[in-house]
Amino acid sequence: MDFSLSVEEREIRDWVRTFVQRELVPLEQEVLRRERAGQQGLTGDELTELQLKARDSGFWGVQTPVSYGGMGLSAVMTALLEAELGRTFVQFRFGGAADNILFHGNEEQRQEYLLPTIEGKRRSCFAITEPGAGSDAKAIRTTARKDGADWIINGEKTFITGGNEADFAMVFAITDPGKGAEGGVTCFLVDRDMGWRSEYIDTMGEWGPASLIFEDVRVPESKILGELGQGFALAMQWIGRGRYLLPARAIGSCERLLGMAIEHANTRQTFGERLAERQAIQWMVADSGVEIEALRWLVLHAAWQVDSGMDSRHAQSIAKLYGGIKANEIVDRVLQIHGGMGYTRELPIERWYRELRLLRIYEGTDEIQRRTIARNLLKGHAKVGGVLG
Ligand SMILES: Cc1cc2nc3c(=O)[nH]c(=O)nc-3n(C[C@H](O)[C@H](O)[C@H](O)COP(=O)(O)OP(=O)(O)OC[C@H]3O[C@@H](n4cnc5c(N)ncnc54)[C@H](O)[C@@H]3O)c2cc1C
């Protein structure tokens, strides 16, 4: 078993580490200032400029296949890069990416949606959640009714990431009420100018998602993505695939936060001694260090399963659940070690405290991950000993 990186992998990882340090970390104070003023941390233009800078060094479409102009990096490598990006809360992502689900389009749809999205000319959002259907996605009520050659969509989606900025949405709607999720849900590519509107939702984090409202939105048959009635299967297939990337990002955040706590513990004196001398503080540092290490290997193991073509859903659920819980415990400890300063907005800890909370909610809550893990173990879909067991 070899846990080391190749020279090339190390070079790629180190390039991103330097990029974060040079280009993103210096923006942090301005991002915080803007957030407090109710503005977006990075404007669209600023994000594009940074993405083009990265592109100059070849960093474009890290997971996009080489045949589409991307780097086609492995899941393990992408997880390592995501961890590097997590070292800052500046909401940067590499350009040249498109939702996996868009690759399921036919040739016409690839030209109209996939390629312009990869090129950064169009922006998508993935819309399945509704006010009455989150964890229980099968309970969606948005309908698409056939009218001549078209479909008429009615309903409301909520908590849609990028929903305010997107110019088209992948929308899941019931096309056969009798079948529901078992063959009666279809995915449509719906341009904003076909008539849907969005409303911003204010959250604890910097970027609020949006509600999307569909009132008699007319969509041509050619906008069906994949097969009629197979939208739910497509959604489930897509949603689970990149789950490991969420806890991957948290690795970097936790490393940076623990670094801040160590520095503070080594310099702050109370009662004539450094905090670092106190066992109460040492144990918080130790537990955090152990948990970051455990999280790293859970994430990389899940990513390795993806690269190996194995069914990685169980491993991804474990990494997501553990990452969400531990990242929140770690940021809480780091805040505690900083005392009153940790609670202020002079330090970015409170920002991470708010942001990491989301990890326990989206792309499957803690409870839903536990439900999946328990079901896999109880029904024998996964072994207690994992792949080596
Ligand atoms: C910032 C943000 C971005 C998001 N982005 C998107 C997006 O781009 N596209 C999209 O479609 N959705 C998106 N979502 C929606 C997200 O996936 C849902 O919020 C999530 O799945 C939970 O659904 P819910 O909010 O309806 O909570 P509910 O499903 O109502 O759950 C409420 C609580 O009950 C628990 N619970 C539910 N069922 C069970 C059960 N069987 N057993 C035990 N406990 C249970 C949950 O874990 C949770 O704690 C986003 C959400 C947020 C907050």
Q: Tell me what pLDDT residue 294 has.
A: 98
Decide: 250 in ligand 1 pocket, CB within 6 A. Answer: no
Domain annotation covers residue 105: no
| Options 112, 130, 206, 363, the catalytic residue | 363
Residue range 175-218, pLDDT digits in tens:
999 998 899 999 999 999 999 999 999 999 887 899 999 999 99
Domain annotation covers residue 114: no
User: Cβ distance 62 to 53 under 8 Å?
Assistant: no
Residue at which a domain ends, from 222, 237, 252: 237
Same domain, 338 and 255: yes
Same domain, 266 and 230: no
Residue at which a domain ends, from 237, 265, 291: 237
Place of tokens 């002079």: 346
Same domain, 363 and 251: yes
Same domain, 213 and 281: no
Q: Tell me what pLDDT residue 241 has.
A: 82
Of 91, 100, 128, 135, the residue with max ligand 1 atoms within 8 A of its CB, to mutate for a pocket test, comes to 135
CATH at 71? 1.10.540.10
Pairing of strands 210-220, 185-191: unpaired
Residue at which a domain ends, from 51, 82, 97: 97
User: Cβ distance 230 to 184 under 8 Å?
Assistant: no
Q: Tell me what pLDDT residue 17 has.
A: 98
Which residues of the chain are under the pLDDT cut of 50? none
State how far the Cα of 243 lies from the Cα of 356, in Å rounded to an integer. Answer: 15
State how far the Cα of 286 lies from the Cα of 40, in Å rounded to an integer. Answer: 36
Same domain, 189 and 266: no
Q: How far is CA 170 from the centre of its chain?
A: 17
For residue 49, indicate whether it is catalytic: no
Same domain, 25 and 139: no
Same domain, 225 and 279: no
Domain annotation covers residue 309: yes
Decide: 126 in ligand 1 pocket, CB within 6 A. Answer: yes
Of 129, 138, 170, 373, the residue with max ligand 1 atoms within 8 A of its CB, to mutate for a pocket test, comes to 129
Same domain, 170 and 187: yes
How many domains does one find in the chain? Answer: 3
Q: Tell me what pLDDT residue 206 has.
A: 83
User: Cβ distance 265 to 274 under 8 Å?
Assistant: yes
Same domain, 244 and 381: yes
Q: Tell me what pLDDT residue 318 has.
A: 98
Domain that holds residue 209: 122-237
Q: Report residue 307 as tokens.
A: 């690269």
Same domain, 264 and 283: yes
Domain annotation covers residue 314: yes
Q: Tell me what pLDDT residue 56 has.
A: 96
What atom of ligand 1 comes closest to residue 161's alpha carbon?
8
Domain annotation covers residue 111: no
Same domain, 298 and 227: no
Q: Cα dihedral sign for 305, 309, 310, 314?
A: positive
What atom of ligand 1 comes closest to residue 128's alpha carbon?
11
State how far the Cα of 355 lies from the Cα of 350, in Å rounded to an integer. Answer: 9
Rg (CA), the chain: 22
CATH at 365? 1.20.140.10
Domain annotation covers residue 262: yes
Nearest-CA residue for atom 2 of ligand 1: 159
From residue 357, how far is each of 31, 259, 314, 330, 375 by CA, in Å?
Answer: 19, 20, 22, 11, 25
Same domain, 248 and 219: no
User: For residue 130, what is the DSSP state?
Assistant: B
Of 198, 214, 365, 369, the residue with max ligand 1 atoms within 8 A of its CB, to mutate for a pocket test, comes to 365
The answer, as to whether pTM is greater than 0.75, is: yes
